[in-house]
Amino acid sequence: MNRMLTVVFDSEAKAYEGKKALMQLDNEGSISVYAYAVVAKHPDGRVTVKQDDDVGPVGTLVGTSVGSLIGLLGGPAGLAIGATAGAAGGSIFDLHNVRIGEDYLDDVSKALTPNKVAVVAQIDEDWTTPVDTRMEAIGGTVYRRGLSDVTDTVNQEESTAMKADLAQYKAELAKEKGDRHAKIQAKIDALALKIRLHEQKTQDRRRAAQKLDEFKAARLQSKANARPSL
């Protein structure tokens, strides 16, 4: 199952040990790791990316569920991208892009208190015992949630609704004068900008999802090629 995994540790050293264990499980074939990052929560609330996968198109974390979760954990002004991480931007950070429930975000936010460090990863796993056993032995607390499928249906419906409102405002604009005309024009300008940003975000999601799918396929093919022939 395609899952978001967050493992919270009491120290940076333990978190790196947890990251190493996660990659060992990937090499053993117990799980598949598609994107990961080691993040630290500072006393002032900032969340710093200490290390990310830096692999192919997913290395920047931008547009991925991992990148969006980190952005949400940092809050609107709390995200500080470390030297090894990509240039993630605030507009991509929303629950829809993370593809998890708000309760998962709440649980992880409560666990990742100041001075704690976490490994955040997007993985495929058939069963939970391998990860749980390794992480618990190191002292990590595991949080996982299956990722919902990304579809364009909700995005398209929202875009259609906003465009319908825009058409209504434009129809009313032709009938109004003076102060009322200016107010309606301001609403038109604001809604038109919102539509452009919404459609740009949808395109960014599609590109990120396509790149991640390509990366997954290449990763699986690489593993298959590495297996000894019978």
- For 5, other C-beta atoms within 10 Å of its C-beta total 23
pTM: 0.64
pLDDT of residue 93: 47
Task: Note whether 88 and 79 are within 8 A (CB).
Answer: yes
Could you give the 3-state DSSP secondary structure of residue 12? helix
Distances (CA, A) of 124 to 37, 59, 74: 16, 18, 25
pLDDT band at 10 (very low <50, low <70, confident <90, very high): very high
pLDDT tens digits along 157-203: 667 878 888 888 888 888 888 887 888 898 899 888 888 887 877 77
pLDDT tens digits along 80-122: 333 333 333 333 445 555 566 677 888 888 999 999 999 999 8
Domain ranges in the chain are 2-146, 153-226
**Residue closest to 86 by CA, chosen among 111, 65, 61, 68:** 61
Task: Note whether 10 and 135 are within 8 A (CB).
Answer: no
pLDDT of residue 80: 39
Bigger pLDDT: 52 or 10? Answer: 10
pLDDT of residue 77: 39
C-alpha to C-alpha distance for 120 and 19, rounded to whole angstroms: 9
Strand 31-41 relative to strand 117-125: parallel, antiparallel, unpaired? antiparallel
pLDDT of residue 207: 73
pLDDT tens digits along 124-163: 888 888 999 999 999 999 998 877 654 555 567 667 878 8
**Residue closest to 51 by CA, chosen among 37, 63, 62:** 37
pLDDT of residue 97: 57
pLDDT band at 21 (very low <50, low <70, confident <90, very high): very high
Asked whether residue 54 carries a pLDDT value surpassing 80, the answer given is no
Task: Note whether 112 and 8 are within 8 A (CB).
Answer: yes
Task: Note whether 9 and 117 are within 8 A (CB).
Answer: yes
**Residue closest to 117 by CA, chosen among 33, 62, 42, 20:** 42
C-alpha to C-alpha distance for 94 and 85, rounded to whole angstroms: 19
Bigger pLDDT: 58 or 229? Answer: 229
Residue showing tokens 């465009």: 163
pLDDT of residue 181: 87
Task: Note whether 87 and 55 are within 8 A (CB).
Answer: no
pLDDT of residue 17: 96
